[in-house]
Structure 1
Amino acid sequence: MGAPGAGKGTQAGALADRYGVPAISTGDIFRHNIKNETPLGLKVKAIIEAGDYVPDETTEEIVADRLREPDCAPGFLLDGFPRTMHQVRFLDRYLAEQGAALDAVVSLHVDPEALVERLLDRAQKEGRADDNEETIRRRMEVYAGQTAPLLSYYEDEGLLVEVDGTGSVDEVRQRMFDQLDERRP
């Protein structure tokens, strides 16, 4: 978890590789569908470009479909999900039905102004239409209002691992690995 641009996608692959599980990014799934102009892509394109979240039910359906794939049987890493309490409750129910549970929730923290600069730089390099300053700031507001409160829930559940997301990719990755290693029995 973390605000847009905090490094979730960058760190997700390394974390998934370390534990031998697939990294599942809802953002990547949405962008793939938008690029290929699938019915889902057409449905969510305007929502994402406005800086809003895709409706919970749509996102939950996509995540459940992906988690049913065979490569997720030994475990998985979710990147960009859950983002609302509705999605948290959905995930809790889904995992309980599967006889599974979360091991940890990693949250990357970065100064909001540094994130705006990071995202504007990424938009320029990658040509991402959803990363203009107005949309970025709107996404930050949406994150603060809808997603940040989930951190308290996961902290109460004893699952939250907070990581300083400032510094080089390698520095952040090592801090994340060290903190997760401390949790292992």
Structure 2
Amino acid sequence: MTPIRHLPVIFVNGVPGAGNHTVAQTISNITGYSMIRPGELVAAEAQKDTARGRLIADKLQAREEISEQLTVDLIKEAMLMQKDATGFILVGFPKNPRMSNIFNRQVKWPEKIVALEVDNELAASRLQTKLSELGRPESEINAAHQIVKEAAHKVKNVHKRFGGHVVTVDSTGNPKALATTLKEILSDTIQKSQKKSTSPEPPVAISAPAVTNAPISAQAAISTPAPAPVSVLTPTPVPDDVAITAGGEDK
């Protein structure tokens, strides 16, 4: 199983329309890290005929927000499935401080937060275009400016929490200039991860607990022994900037 805690994690975080997906894809091309889009995970889970899948489908249908814990659970499961991953890039994550707190506590702190800077008017225009392409209601398309404005406040709070881990990138530039900038600001993270990958594995303790045939949950596989159980079927309705729906991250 992939030792997730020892793999580098990068958050790409900006308001809707800031170019989260474009920047994340550029970073993936540079580092070789696996890109995870929480919005796609939520949409895929909603198609499953399971208790959790039906819960998500109902919330998406009602235009209700998906709980932070449930979103993090889906991310953890996706990370655990990628056994050959050398690192992870989370797109448009986290949406708010509560979501980052859950991820930091249950998985790890990210090595870098790539904070995207973009003019709100440009971001809103991009968001309107995407919503129109997705066939969203006219009322939602017209609300793009308000969505970006509200998201900007929460994104700023997320960036404040991570302090020195945050690197700011102007996402209005051309792709080539952006790639050059990203290579420079991520060079230390890449070098550290390469050193870790070439370091010898630590010896396994002789007194390690016996392995049973019981299934291992995503939470148990990542956290320290005997973590408190977490229910993923009872979402806590906490305000978010933009509800995670199908295709939740922006391009």
TM-score, normalised via structure 1 length:
0.78
Counterpart in the other structure of 2:216: none
Q: Aligned residues: percent identity?
A: 21
Contact kept in structure 2, 1:110 and 1:166, CA below 8 Å: yes
Q: Select the residue among 134, 138, 142 that pairs with 1:127.
A: 134
Mean alpha-carbon deviation: is it higher for 106-115 or for 174-183?
A: 174-183
SS in 2 for 1:162: strand
Gaps in structure 1 of 5+ consecutive residues: none
Tell me how far 1:161 sits from its aligned partner: 0.8
SS in 1 for 2:63: helix
- RCO higher in structure (CA 8 A, sep ≥6): 2
Gaps in structure 2 of 5+ consecutive residues: 1-12, 192-251
Tell me how far 1:13 sits from its aligned partner: 1.8
Q: Select the residue among 164, 173, 178 that pairs with 1:167.
A: 173
Contact kept in structure 2, 1:47 and 1:54, CA below 8 Å: no
State the alpha-carbon separation in 2 of the partners of residues 36 and 168 from structure 1: 39
Tell me how far 1:36 sits from its aligned partner: 7.7
Q: 1:75-108: CA deviations, max 9, x gaps?
A: 2111122122211111111234xxxx42211011
State the alpha-carbon separation in 1 of the partners of residues 81 and 59 from structure 2: 23
Tell me how far 1:34 sits from its aligned partner: 5.6
Counterpart in the other structure of 2:21: 9
State the alpha-carbon separation in 1 of the partners of residues 145 and 134 from structure 2: 18
Counterpart in the other structure of 1:70: 82
Larger CA Rg, structure 1 vs 2: 2
Contact kept in structure 1, 2:17 and 2:127, CA below 8 Å: yes
State the alpha-carbon separation in 2 of the partners of residues 120 and 67 from structure 1: 31
Counterpart in the other structure of 2:5: none
Counterpart in the other structure of 1:137: 145
- Kindly report the root-mean-square deviation, in angstroms, between the aligned alpha carbons of the 2 structures: 2.7
